[in-house]
Amino acid sequence: MSDGDSEANGPEGAPVEHRSPERVREVYDRIAAHFAETRHHAWPESGEFLDGRSGAVGLDVGCGNGRNAELLAERVDRALGLDASRGLLGETRSRAGETVELVQGDASHLPVTADTVDIALYIATLHHLPDRETRRGSLGELARVLAPGGRGLVSAWSTAHERFEADPDDSVGFDTTVDWTLPSGETVPRFYHIYAPAEFEADLAASPLTVEATWLASGNCYARVRGE
């Protein structure tokens, strides 16, 4: 996620109160309308991943305002957009209409039947989960729901991003907050775990996912994966 109007704190950590799923949900409910106004286009990497793919069921984990889910819906018979924020789900409904089925839920416990998802997007959401155990568990959940032959695209912010004064060669990333600036000038801190590329790969390797490729693009870690 590239938030050009936001400011990031350094690798000194983030206050504990910003890490909880409840707090993250509250923050995105609060900024949902402005977020949607500033996020019009699907991520290019999502479009590249979806190109030539099709399936029965698609899942966008952390669908935000629906910009990627809208594209996913063109490739599958049934598209599911999952987000913890009811406000963002409302923005997805406004954007994608009835082409995307909305599910309010937590990325660490996907309310989706096992072995049913042919195409999954998990874009710029993993880094909002509070700790490493939860993030690895969430990757396991993605593996659980992917159907045989299914594929997923996972991304997270990386220490390689130019806004962070961190060594991208370090094996471990850091926790921080990134401020969202509302039109009023008020800033709302959002919790992030900024992944070191080696750490991203290690978390994927520790999950049941099979990793087909990993790469860096625009300061983000990416992985193309399949299920167990």
How confident is the model over 86-109, as a mean pLDDT? 96
* pLDDT tens, position by position, 99-138: 999 999 999 999 999 999 999 999 999 999 999 999 999 9
Q: What is the pLDDT of residue 163?
A: 81
Q: Where are the alpha helices (DSSP H) in 100-167?
A: 132-145
The reported pTM is 0.91
| Domain boundaries defined on the chain | 7-107+116-130+151-189+198-226
How confident is the model over 153-164, as a mean pLDDT? 90
Mean pLDDT over the full length of the chain: 91
How confident is the model over 209-222, as a mean pLDDT? 96
Q: What is the pLDDT of residue 18?
A: 80
Q: What is the pLDDT of residue 15?
A: 66
Q: CATH number of the domain at 7-107+116-130+151-189+198-226, out of 1.10.490.130, 3.40.50.150, 3.40.190.10, 3.40.50.720?
A: 3.40.50.150
How confident is the model over 168-173, as a mean pLDDT? 78
